[in-house]
């Protein structure tokens, strides 16, 4: 396979995802605003581009993986954005987690430039990006989805078509909302139990077998020494950062606000992650929200 793929955004997530494409045999033309990020990929066999525009001029399939809406907008519509160089018939796959309206706005630009677009945000940590086991939620035309399935499959194991353009983002926000809220719920449960003298190992054992079981309990048990690879046992190294969970819950609330849909628990969880970040823990794993309840003061 020697297909030429463009990749824009080579950060914590983008870099291991791009590396997996290289390992799978794709030829890769890459760009990032940080020159050192480009060099790291070039040393693995990628070709450097000097702008998103140049990536578009040299490839017909563009993948982007950027931190937030404004970066996706700039990469598309900015002075040297890829829309200014997009070739007719190109496919853009934006894997960033951004708000669905921005996705649709970019998709319109891509369509007007003669291309087609998928939104394909991911669920999972940078460790999963490295092992190529992300869950990928895809919005856009089903035919385009099927054409790009094998490409996406180099980066993730669960590749799910969620509907028309923007639906990947929508479904991802809905999913992360549950993760964000349930993490705080697990934290409140452990704080309550521990404050009453319960053994955290017993709390974990019972919840695991009962109605309190959830992904966040299994991967992010907030009490030290219970689940070996929970971030609490590794100084809250992410994983998925508090600031990103704060961003995602904020996007969910903004999307809900357009419908005047009241999401009270999401709103409070959002404030809790904000408080966690304000106390200086924004770059830690989002399970650091447990610090608010003073559960780990002796760690």
Shortest spacing between CB 84 and its own copies, in angstroms? 21
DSSP structure class, residue 277? I
Classify residue 197 as exposed, middle or buried by CB count within 10 Å of its CB (0-12, 13-18, 19+): exposed
CB distance 284 to 278 below 8 Å: no
Site map 28..67 versus its own copies, x via CB under 8 A? ----------------------------------------
Q: Which of 92, 177, 226, 284 binds its own copies (CB under 8 A)?
A: 177
Q: Which of 42, 127, 261, 299 binds its own copies (CB under 8 A)?
A: 261
How many whole angstroms separate alpha carbon 55 and alpha carbon 51?
Answer: 7
Q: Which of 41, 106, 129, 179 binds its own copies (CB under 8 A)?
A: 179
- Phi and psi, residue 246, nearest 5°: -60, -45
Shortest spacing between CB 11 and its own copies, in angstroms? 20
User: Could you list the active site residues?
Assistant: 172
The first and second tokens of residue 103, run together, are 């996705």
Closer residue to its own copies, CB minimum distance, 46 or 138: 138
Q: Which residue has the tokens 């479904």?
A: 171
Of the ranges 20-28, 58-66, 145-153, 195-203, which one interacts with its own copies (CB under 8 A)? 195-203
229 makes contact with its own copies (CB under 8 A): no
**Coil, helix or strand at residue 4:** strand
CA atoms within 13 A on the CB side of 161: 12
Shortest spacing between CB 97 and its own copies, in angstroms? 12
Contacts to its own copies from residues 119-148, by CB under 8 A: 123-124, 135, 137
CB distance 133 to 208 below 8 Å: no
298 makes contact with its own copies (CB under 8 A): no
Cis peptide, bond prior to residue 245, ω within 30 of zero: no
Q: Which of 43, 143, 209, 298 binds its own copies (CB under 8 A)?
A: 209
113 makes contact with its own copies (CB under 8 A): no
Shortest spacing between CB 293 and its own copies, in angstroms? 7
CA atoms within 13 A on the CB side of 174: 9
């Amino acid at each position: 396979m020697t297909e030429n793929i463009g990749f824009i955004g080579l950060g914590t997530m983008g870099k291991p995802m791009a590396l997996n494409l290289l390992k799978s045999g794709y030829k890769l033309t890459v760009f990032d605003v940080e020159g050192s990020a480009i060099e790291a990929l070039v040393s693995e066999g990628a070709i450097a581009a000097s702008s998103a525009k140049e990536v578009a001029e040299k490839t017909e399939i563009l993948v982007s993986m950027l931190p937030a809406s404004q970066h996706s907008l700039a990469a598309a519509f900015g002075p040297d954005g890829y829309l200014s160089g997009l070739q007719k018939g190109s496919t853009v796959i934006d894997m960033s987690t951004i708000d669905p309206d921005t996705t649709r706005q970019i998709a319109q630009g891509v369509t007007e430039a003669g291309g087609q677009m998928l939104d394909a945000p991911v669920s999972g940590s940078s460790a999963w990006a490295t092992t190529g086991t992300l869950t990928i939620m895809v919005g856009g035309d089903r035919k385009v989805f099927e054409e790009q399935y094998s490409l996406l499959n180099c980066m993730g194991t669960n590749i799910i078509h969620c509907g028309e353009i923007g639906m990947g983002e929508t479904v991802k926000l809905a999913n992360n909302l549950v993760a964000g809220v349930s993490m705080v719920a697990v934290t409140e449960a452990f704080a309550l139990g521990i404050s009453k003298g319960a053994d955290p190992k017993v709390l974990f054992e019972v919840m695991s077998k009962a109605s309190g079981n959830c992904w966040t309990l299994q991967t992010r048990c907030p009490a030290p020494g219970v689940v070996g690879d929970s971030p609490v046992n590794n100084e809250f190294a992410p994983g998925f950062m508090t600031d990103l969970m704060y961003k995602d819950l904020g996007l969910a609330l903004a999307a809900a606000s357009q419908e005047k849909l009241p999401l009270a628990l999401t709103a409070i969880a959002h404030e809790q992650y904000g408080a966690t970040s304000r106390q200086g823990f924004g770059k830690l794993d989002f399970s650091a929200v447990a610090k608010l309840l003073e559960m780990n003061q002796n760690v």
